[in-house]
Structures are given as structure tokens and as C-alpha cells.
Chains A and B, each alone.
Chain A
Amino acid sequence: MRMKEEFTLSVFSENHVGLLNQITNVFTRRHLNIESLTTSESAIQGIHKFTIVVFSTREEIEKVAGQIEKKIDVIKVFVYTADEIIHQEIALYKVHTEALLNGNQIETLVRQYGARILEVTPEYTVIEKTGHKHETQELFEKLDKYGVSQFTRSGRIAITKHKTEMLDKYLKKLEADNSKLN
């Protein structure tokens, strides 16, 4: 067996109903667990972006990418390893305000981890931290000593380190190919 590693897929598509289902199906058929998934508009109007994190082998992930790209409404799929991208997740923690007021440990943690306090009410306080998964997890474990009543983490969002924008380049090429046709 080849080594499994973490891959981040950037899938660019037309904004059509039902596409998410089509994309996740490719993973389901191969029994691949999706670690995280986010979707949003991309920088280009009308083009949607899915960021998907999975553990797999290079060989398999290339096949997955090919099968996703084959979907009619998918424009392009890029496969990245961790070192090719800058990525973040956001986490929210809900703690009892009482715990915050009982000493300065929580505030110290917030400062130490570069987190911030979003909202304080007499009952609860919401803390926000952006970072890699292991960082937000670590803060959770530290805070939990003082009681975290809710914890939630977003899926990954990612930006490439490439100097040129791969999708722009691809779209330009598409346009050029098309004008050659007509």
C-alpha cells in the first residue's frame, strides 16, 4: 500500500443545483472519507468553489480528481498538498462568563493563542480562533479545563502559493480554444 497523505482539492464549477451531491458521490463510491468541505463563490463571478480535504494516496486522488472533472458542470479540479497552499479554519468556543471572571487563565489563553473574544453576555462568552486544525484543537483542550459548553470548527479554506492564478489561466485558454473553434 502506498502512503496516504493529506490532499486539498479545489473544485471550480458552474453554480448549479445538485452539484455538491455529484461531487461527494465520487468520494462515497470509493469509500473515501471527506475530512472537511467548504463551498463558496470564487473570486470570479458565477464560478463556485469547493475546498475538500481528504486523506488518500496520490494515485487515487488523481483518479478522483479526474472523475470529478468529468462532471459536465465542473470547470476544473486542482489537487494540492499541504505545502502548496495557505489554509485556515475558524473555530468558535462558548464558555461560561463566570469561568472567565474567575481568574485570568482564560484571558491568558486567548492572548497566547491569538484568539479573540467575540461576544460577552452575563451567561456566556464566545471566543474565536483562526488557524490550523491542530491549533484550534489545542486551544479547545486547554479551554475545556474551564468548561467549554459548545465548540465548532469550520471546514478548511485555502489559497494557493502559486505566483500565477491557475484558474484564470485555464479560463483564458478555454476562451482562446473556443474562439479558434468559431
Chain B
Amino acid sequence: METQSQTAMKEKNKKAVRMTGAEAVVKSLINEGTELIFGYPGGAIMPVYDALYSYQKELHHVLVRHEQGAVHAAQGFARVTGKVGVCIVTSGPGATNAVTGIADAMIDSTPLVVISGQVGSSLLGSDAFQETDVVGITQPVTKWNYQVKRAEEIPEAIARAFYIARSGRPGPVLIDITKDAQFASLDYVYEPVKYIRSYKPVPQVDPVQVQEAARLINLAKKPMALVGQGVILARAEKELLEFIEKTGIPAAWTLLGLSAMPSEHPLNVGMLGMHGNYGPNLKTNEADLIIAIGMRFDDRVTGDLKKYAINAKVIHLEIDPAEINKNVHADVPILGSVKDSLPLLTQMVSANSHESWLEQFKACYRIEFERIIEKELSPVKPGLTMSEVVDKVSVAFDDDAIMVTDVGQHQMMASRYFRFKQSRSVVTSGGLGTMGFGLPAALGAKMGAPERPVVLFVGDGGFQMTIQELGTIFQTDSAVKIVLLNNNFLGMVRQWQELFFDKRYASTELINPDFQTIAKGYHVNSLKVDKREELDNAIKTMVAHNGPFLLEVIVEKEGNVFPMVPAGASVSDIRLE
């Protein structure tokens, strides 16, 4: 008699199709629902590129200008769609160029599958041409990685890669495939992976903890919710609103939690952290209860941990057990997806409102408005501020665009002053703070959400780190709106030099090229503005233009981002100037 597994084996073989490893790579990607990949060819990955040539209709390949750009573009795509971003690179320098993007995706929990070519298996370990130990290099910055040396392993390796990348707390996975495995043949059958014994992506919610959390919430006089990217990753925006609306708890967000709730929501009290809003930072140490929802207490959010949340009990809703108690002790940890835990919690808490507590946030906002925001948005000085540009661009897109940023002052200004109506509208490099992220990420975001406007805020420093991706934007005719906030400085570093290094501006002033000429070279239309009177019209032109557009705005040279919690200081020591 045949055993069950023998029968299954036979079934499987009947369905099997003979093909090369390279074709199996392409087929596996298609089987996972991939339609778009970002990449750059080279010797060790040529068989896969050759296979791609036969599948151009099913699988669109975007040729970037640098592998770092491929990964950031895939990140932009993943962040706006919630799907797995896919990149493909060659061995050696191709793979090492991708490492920055992979590390960025790791720390910001972005699902990626990166496929790298590798030298033939007989050459492994021999310092062959373009051989690097990519699995070794990327091990600490991937959620999982694996080297494939035989063609038969390909379908399963890729199936695992997708399952691991997208499940639980998402992250990047790298599959390194030797050239001989790409050339060799196999009997191809594709079966998606749904279970790995050693991997538990979504812990089960413990009802006892939920009960305890609900008890604390019902007792709290000054509760505060901290909203992180976990809400967006779990698609739990609705569940979040139901929770805060029932309890009346003021909610603040981390950089990556931005757009999880609408900007104008009455319980949205603003941004946490180093350049966040005054109220949420100050009130962290007055709150008697902190409810952290899918966030990880990054040091840019908490400042000095010894003086953080000093009067509060902490409830931590988190999918990743390793985050519990990592930075901040959780009195009540609730493991699991917030998609599961939030509704349970909402069910158990009593309806409430916290008018006078909320009023305190509003009072803080009024102070911040008077001391900072008003001067930023309606400046009396002639120099344009980054904030007023961000504010006007937000309005021009009806507060409903996807905002992509690079890293620096403009990133903080964009996060502070851009407004949102729907989730998955922010693509920014949070945990790694990778300059050069913006331009390629904006391209990926636009390709992921072609129906939505995508606007990039970028500094003159970071723009030049991946500026060559203008070529990809031109070649794919992606209507990315680029707002270059040019202060002719590495602004954020200059700000620190001004505040903490006696204005010793060591190597932060840039002598810049003519960005309009560069844009022209890439056939991208552009405008340059340095006067307030010209701004509105220029923005109008950018919005109306059908295609990619560069709007360069010369902003004040030495503007600073405030408020600011100086590095290592307590959130209570937030400075307004």
C-alpha cells in the first residue's frame, strides 16, 4: 500500500515541469504574485536576466542606476502597498551595494526579498572574481538569508523567503544563488510555505494580559497612546481608531507611525521624539499610563531612558517578543498582532473621555504654535522656511498625497507639517536614517501606488547621494514630484554644530551644482524658487505637470528644527529654541 506521502510525491511529480534554475527563480516570483522587480544585471545573475527576458509580460523589471536604489525603490513599493518588495542584483559589488538598503529595511521592518547572484559553487571560498560572502555580510541585517547551491532548492528557498519576509514582524530576506544552480535543471513545482517549525510569526494574544491592561486603562487619569508602524503593518488603523475613540485617549505617533491616523483627528496629539511636538514629549513624563501600540521605544523617541515615562505604568502591544522590556519595562506586555489585540482591548475597556487631560495637550500646542509653528509657517523674515514649503505643498495635494522623505532637517519638517487623510502615506528612513533613501524610494512608491500623487522632500545633500535615479524616473516616466529644499548645507549636521559644537561648521557647507541643469540632462522638468511670492505658482505648476517634476526651493541657510530633545536628554528637557 502506498503511504500518504508517496501519493503526494507522485501527485507532485505529475505537476512538475522541467526547467532551468534561472527560469525557476522567475516562475517562483510570479507564483508569489510579484509583478514588479527592481534590479541591476551582472555576470553571476545573467541566467536569471535571460529568463526574465521571456517573461516580460508577467514580470516587469525596473533597471535602476545603482543597487542601493533598487533596494530603496523596493522599500518604497513595499511601504505603500504592504506587499513584498523584490530586488535582484549580481554578486560581489552588486550585492554589497545593496547592503545599505537591506539594513534600512531590517531596522524599519520592511518586507523585501533580495535575490543575489553568486559565483559557481565550485569556486565558493576561493576568492573568485566578484565573489563576496554575501550571506555572511548580510546575516546581521536580514531577517533570514540562505545560499542556494542546487537548482532543486530554488522553489522552496524562494517560497520560504516570501513567507518569512511578509509574516509576523516583516523584514528583508536575501537568497544568494550560485551561477551553476541557475544553469542546472530541475523538476519545478511551486508550493507556498505556510509553516516553519522554528518560527512563530504571530504570538497568540493572552486574554489575561488584555484583561489586566483594560483594568489599568479604566483606572487611568492621564493615559496616553503611542502609535507605531506596527499598526500600519498589521492594517489595524480602524481597530486603532475604535480603541482611542472609545477610551478618549490622546494618541501620539512615532515617525514610522505617521499617517496611521488622520492628521486632523481630534485625539491625534502629534509626533513623539527628538523633533516631535511639545505636548506629547512633555506629557510622557506626566502620564500615568502609556499604551505603546506597535512601536519599539527607539532612543530617538525616548531620550534618556532613566527619565522616561517616570510616572507611568506601561502597556506594550507588540508582535515581536524580543522588543518586550528591551528598552522600556512593560508592566503589561500584550504579545500578538495589534489587529488581534486591539479589538479585544476595545471590547473590555469602558467608554470614557479625558477632556481636561486632552486640554493640557492643546495648551502645549498653543505654546508650540506661538513659539515655533507660527514663525515657521508665516515667517516675517524674507528667507523661505522649509516648513512653509511643506505646508503649502500639503495643501496643494489636498492633504492627501504620499509623502516620501530623505534624511535630515527637511525630513523632520516634512513629518511635522505635512498632513494626511489615509494610512500608508509616509515613506521615510527612520531607524537607519539613510541619506539617499528618498529619491529611489519615491520612485518605488509611485510604482506601487500609481493612482496617488507622490511627493518627495529631499535635501541638497541627500539628493546627491542617489541623484542618478533621476535616470530611472525618466526611463519609467514615473510622475514623482521632487521638492528639493536647498539650504546649501548638510543642514541637520550644521544645526548640531551650531547648538553643540560652537558653530564650528566643519565640512557641512556644500557648493552645489545647478540642479536644474542636471534635471534637464535627465529630461525632468524643473523650476527654481527663492522668493516667497513665486512659491504658490511654482507649486501649482508642479502639481499640474503631467510627469516627474523637480521643484528646487532655496530656503534659509541656517534654519533650525525645533522643538528639540537634545541627544541623551530627557523628553521633559525638550527645547523650544
A66 and B195 contacting across the interface, CB-CB below 8 Å? no
- Interface presence of B139 (CB below 8 A): yes
Q: In the complex, A151 Cα to B563 Cα: how many Å?
A: 62
Contacts of B164 in A (CB 8 A): 72
A63: which of B140, B143, B204, B322 is its contact (CB, 8 Å)?
Answer: B322
Q: Nearest-CB distance from A175 to chain B (Å)?
A: 9
How many Å from the CB of A17 to the closest CB on chain B?
Answer: 8
Q: How far is the CA of A10 from the CA of B143 in the complex (A)?
A: 22
* Residue of A with least CB distance to B201: A72
Contact B195 A181 (CB under 8 A): yes
In the complex, residue of chain A having the shortest beta-carbon distance to the beta carbon of B320? A70
Q: Which residues of B contact A62 (CB under 8 A)?
A: 325
B326 at the interface (CB under 8 A from A): yes
B321 part of interface (Cβ distance < 8 Å) = yes
Partner of B140, one of A13, A25, A72, A178: A25
- Contacts beyond the supplied A25-B140, A69-B321, A72-B144: 9 A-B pairs with Cβ under 8 Å: A13-B198, A14-B197, A14-B198, A62-B325, A63-B326, A70-B321, A72-B196, A178-B195, A182-B195
Q: Which residues of B contact A103 (CB under 8 A)?
A: none
B139 lies within 8 A of A21 (CB): yes
Minimum CB–CB distance from A146 to chain B (whole Å) comes to 45
A73 at the interface (CB under 8 A from B): yes
Closest to B160 in A: A72
Interface size, B (range)? 20 to 34
Q: Is the CB of A66 within 8 A of B198?
A: no
Q: Determine the chain B residues whose CB is within 8 A of the CB of A73 once the complex forms.
A: 144, 198-199
In the complex, 12 of the A-B residue pairs with CB atoms within 8 angstroms, ordered by the A residue number, are A14-B198, A21-B139, A22-B139, A63-B325, A66-B322, A72-B144, A72-B199, A174-B200, A177-B204, A178-B195, A181-B195, A182-B195
State whether B198 touches A74 (Cβ < 8 A).
yes
| B322, A70: Cβ atoms closer than 8 Å | yes
Q: Which chain B residues border A63 with CB–CB below 8 Å? A: 322, 325-326
A75 near B320: Cβ-Cβ < 8 Å? no
Interface contact A75-B198, CB-CB below 8 Å: yes
User: Within 8 Å of chain B (Cβ to Cβ): is A67?
Assistant: yes
Measured CB to CB, the closest approach of chain A to B322, in angstroms, equals 4
For the complex, is A18 an interface residue (Cβ under 8 Å from B)?
Answer: yes
**CB-contacts of A77-130 with B (<8 A):** none
**A13 surroundings in chain B (CB, below 8 A):** 198
CB pair A18 B198 closer than 8 Å: no
A75-B197 contact, Cβ under 8 Å, with A63-B325, A66-B321: yes
Q: How extensive is the interface on chain A, given as a class?
A: 20 to 34
Contacts of A74 in B (CB 8 A): 198
B324 at the interface (CB under 8 A from A): yes
Grouping DSSP codes into helix (H, G, I), strand (E, B) and loop, the A interface class, with mixed when no group exceeds half, is helix
Q: Assess the B197–A174 pair: CB atoms within 8 A.
A: yes
Would you give the shortest CB distance from B434 to chain A, in whole angstroms?
A: 20
| A:159-182 near B, CB below 8 Å | 174, 177-178, 181-182
Q: How far is the CB of A14 from chain B (nearest CB, A)?
A: 5
Question: Closest 4 A-B residue pairs measured CB to CB?
Answer: A66-B322, A75-B198, A72-B144, A70-B322
Query: B382 interface residue, CB < 8 Å from A?
Result: no
Question: Which partner residue on chain A sits nearest B142 by CB separation?
Answer: A72
B198–A72 touching, CB < 8 Å:
yes
Chain A residue at minimum C-beta to C-beta distance from B329: A59
In the bound complex, what is the Cα–Cα distance between A29 and B322 (angstroms)? 15
Q: Is the CB of A67 within 8 A of B322?
A: yes
> In whole angstroms, what is the CA distance A170 to B368 when docked?
53
Q: How far is the CB of B570 from chain A (nearest CB, A)?
A: 21
Q: Which residues of B contact A182 (CB under 8 A)?
A: 195
A62 to B333, CA, bound (A): 15
Closest partner residue, chain B, to A68 (CB atom): B322
**Chain A residue at smallest Cβ distance from B204:** A177
Q: What 0/1 readout, one digit per residue, does chain B (131-168) give for beta carbons within 8 Å of chain A?
A: 00001100110011000000000000000000010000
Residue of B with least CB distance to A64: B322
Contacts of A25 in B (CB 8 A): 139-140
Residues facing B in A6-28 (CB within 8 A) are: 13-14, 18, 21-22, 25
How long is the Cα–Cα vector from A74 to B199 in the complex, in angstroms? 7
A18 close to B197 (CB less than 8 A): no
> How distant is the Cα of A25 from the Cα of B139 in the complex, in angstroms?
9
CA distance A18 to B145 in the complex (A): 10
Nearest residue (CB) in B for A21 is: B139
Neighbouring B residues of A69 by C-beta, 8 Å: 321-322
In the complex, what distance in Å separates the CA atom of A56 from the CA atom of B94?
Answer: 40
What does the 1/0 interface line of A22-43 toward B look like (CB < 8 Å)? 1001000100000000000000
Q: Report the Cα distance A69→B322, complex, angstroms.
A: 8
A71–B307 CA distance with the chains assembled, in angstroms: 32
- A25 CA / B135 CA spacing, docked (Å): 14
B136 and A21 contacting across the interface, CB-CB below 8 Å: yes
Given contacts A18-B135, A178-B195, contact A72 B143 (CB under 8 A): yes
Q: Give every chain A residue within 8 A of B196 (Cβ-Cβ).
A: 72
A63 to B328, CA, bound (A): 12
Contacts of A174 in B (CB 8 A): 197, 200
